[in-house]
Amino acid sequence: MNQKANILVIYTGGTIGMMKDPETAQLKSVDFNLIYNHVPELKRFNVDIETVSFEHPVDSSEIGVENWKTLATIIRDRYAQFDGFVVLHGSDTMAYSASALSFMFDGLKKPIIFTGSQLPIGTIRTDGKENLITAIEIAAAKNKNGAPLIQEVAVYFDYQLFRGNRCTKDSAENFEAFRSPNFVPLGVAGVHIVYNEDKFYHTQSQEFTVNMDINTKVVLLKLYPGINFELYKGLFNPTNVSAIILESFGAGNAPTSSIFRSLLSDFIGKGGIVLNITQCNSGSVKQGMYATSAVFNDLGVISGRDMTTEAAVTKLMVALNSANTKELLGSNLRGELTLN
Ligand code: ASP
């Protein structure tokens, strides 16, 4: 019997697989199969590795819904064949893609580990080698029953493993590019990889399914002092916009101006959905804690609690076409929020 785990590595694009174009000095994606030239250690791994690449690898600033569907389709079609999946992805929007996939898949019982790098894998000081090798090791890890240790979508970057829908990119410079503001890391890699097993997410669903019905009529509105709501009137139109995510202040607070209130109440009255998350770097929305957020409860604004912006945007996109969107938004679907 073959005890080796078999892992599918999917290259979507991003710095990890890029090289400098000698003429323009810009970073561009190269043939991913060349990865073995840069990481020959992969050949010595006690893991069977197969690779597949997007036909046209992209800088992750170009990633969109169609790419998420392509990625989900690659994984769905090979789900039975592999023990785990490593997704190589640009770090810029990695947290969005990891969040999106976490919501698109239901009943996931295998690891999908996103990773990438700040420096291309061909450069001497690259962080890509370690990120790739350890991501594969994590994807191949088994629990004491021989099942995959990680059974959710996660991001591995610079020695830390995060829940995909809990992390955010917070540095364009440091190798430590991600953090998980409201949830402890799932693991930390030192000499040994130390896992926080009691924090792992385990699905309750028996069947493995993927939801490709994504609705992008979602708007993100960050509040700021002095905001002129007149300029934003067009957004509060349910014919064009199905849902608005408010990035509010502190524990979910906002100006109490009458124009803002009437925009919200008209929009919600006509079937629009408003989700409230905080623009703070950590912590949670607590609607009603201050007078400046109590009105949200009266108007039917949904509290996004401690969700990241990435989780809120992608959760809304995936949940918007379901029959019970509001209920789903307030629920903890994939470990993305903390219910007090
Ligand atoms: N611009 C790149 C991307 O996100 C940066 C990276 O890969 O880290 O695709």
Helices (H), the chain: 35-38, 65-77, 94-104, 128-140, 258-269, 291-299, 309-319, 325-330
* CA 338 / ligand 1 centre spacing (Å): 29
Distance between CA atoms of residues 276 and 296, nearest Å: 9
**pLDDT tens-digit readout, 92-135:** 999 999 999 999 999 999 999 999 999 988 888 999 999 999 99
90 lines ligand 1 (CB under 6 A): yes
Instruction: Cite the residue boundaries of each domain of the chain with CATH code 3.40.50.40.
Output: 218-329
17 lines ligand 1 (CB under 6 A): no
pLDDT for the residue 149: 98
Distance between CA atoms of residues 192 and 66, nearest Å: 37
Distance between CA atoms of residues 240 and 159, nearest Å: 43
Instruction: Cite the residue boundaries of each domain of the chain with CATH code 3.40.50.1170.
Output: 5-210
123 is catalytic: no
Assigned fold of 5-210? Rossmann fold (3.40.50)
Q: Which residue reads 């949200």 in tokens?
A: 296
**pLDDT tens-digit readout, 47-74:** 999 989 999 899 999 999 999 999 999 9
59 lines ligand 1 (CB under 6 A): yes
92 lines ligand 1 (CB under 6 A): yes
Radius of gyration of the chain (CA): 21
218-329 carries CATH number 3.40.50.40: yes
Q: Ligand 1 atom 8: the closest Cα is on which residue?
A: 91
14 lines ligand 1 (CB under 6 A): yes
Q: Ligand 1 atom 3: the closest Cα is on which residue?
A: 90
Contact 38, 122 (CB under 8 A): yes
Ligand 1 atom nearest 118 alpha carbon:
8
pLDDT for the residue 30: 66
Distance between CA atoms of residues 63 and 303, nearest Å: 28
**pLDDT tens-digit readout, 145-174:** 999 999 999 999 999 999 999 999 999 999
| Per-residue pLDDT band at 32 (split at 50, 70, 90) | low
* CA 170 / ligand 1 centre spacing (Å): 13
- The structure tokens listed for 47 are 């893991």
Contact 152, 108 (CB under 8 A): yes
> How many Cα atoms sit within 13 Å of 187 on the Cβ side?
26
Active site residue: 15, 93, 126, 278, which one? Answer: 15
State the Cα angle at 284 between 279 and 287, rounded to 5°: 95
Burial degree of 296 (CB within 10 A; 0-12, 13-18, 19+): buried
Mean local confidence (pLDDT), 300-315: 97
Instruction: Output DSSP code: residue 231.
Output: G
Q: In testing the pocket of ligand 1, which one of 29, 89, 91, 97 has its CB within 8 Å of the most ligand atoms?
A: 91
Which residues are bridge partners to 87 per DSSP? Answer: 10, 114
Ligand 1 atom nearest 94 alpha carbon:
4
**pLDDT tens-digit readout, 2-11:** 578 999 999 9
Q: Ligand 1 atom 7: the closest Cα is on which residue?
A: 90
Q: Alpha carbon of 231 to those of 226, 236, 244, 259, 281: distances in Å?
A: 12, 11, 15, 11, 26
